[in-house]
Amino acid sequence: MKQLRVVLADDNPSMRERLRRLIESANGITVVGEAIDGYQALNHAKTLEPDVLVLDMDMPHMSGLEVTKQLQTEKPSIQVLIVSIHDDIQYIHGLLKTGAAGYLIKSELTPDTLIEAIQDLARGEKNWVTSRISAHLNGRSFQGESLSRQEREILKLVVVGKTDYEISLSLGLSEEAVRTHVTHILTKLDVVSRVKAAVRAVKEGLV
């Protein structure tokens, strides 16, 4: 199995140590570099080419936002997971639109959420956030709403491992429409990844 490669970027040594311990507690993930400021984060990302850059927003010399924007241009294959103290919904929404693949608030940082975020981003997931933030971003409650017929059709294909592209071909939808539906499905099921949506769908007989 391929080892996922991660670069950590945070100017707080104790936070970097905590992140490294959490990450290295999981099999299949290796920390290949650490950065103490924005410039170093950008340079490490470009030279080491990790699968995921775990990046603090408030970095010296170059902000996490600047790093993210530059990587979008120069190394778009690198997935950026922002780990920050900020929990303002508009702020998070703006960062995801700018190019960050995922956002994790430090107050919600646990081994499970961090590892899941890294693994999901490495698989190509976009707009990764926890269920709580997803609900706020979509203006929905945690209870969710019942799935529409279209969403159930998409969920069936998610369960069997189809990609957004494959789902779009199967159902005659655009990939963008499929991505939007998948985001809504995750919110309604109160989960943060396609894998968890599939597990819950099978467990609860939704498909």
**Confidence class of residue 199 from pLDDT cuts 50, 70 and 90?**
confident
What are 94-118's pLDDT values in tens digits?
Answer: 888 888 999 999 888 888 889 999 9
Q: How far apart are CA 37 and CA 165, in angstroms?
A: 37
Domain with CATH 3.40.50.2300 in the chain: 4-129
Query: What's the pTM value of the predicted model, to 2 decimals?
Result: 0.67
Q: How far apart are CA 56 and CA 104, in angstroms?
A: 10
Quick check: 173 and 97 in contact, CB under 8 A? Answer: no
What are 128-178's pLDDT values in tens digits?
Answer: 988 778 777 766 443 334 677 888 899 999 999 999 999 999 999 999 889
Percent of the chain topping pLDDT 70: 95
Domain with CATH 1.10.10.10 in the chain: 149-203
Q: Which CATH superfamily is domain 4-129 in?
A: Response regulator (3.40.50.2300)
Quick check: 56 and 83 in contact, CB under 8 A? Answer: yes
What are 65-88's pLDDT values in tens digits?
Answer: 899 999 999 999 999 999 998 887
Q: How far apart are CA 46 and CA 71, in angstroms?
A: 8
Q: What integer best gives the mean pLDDT of the chain?
A: 88
149-203 — its CATH code? 1.10.10.10
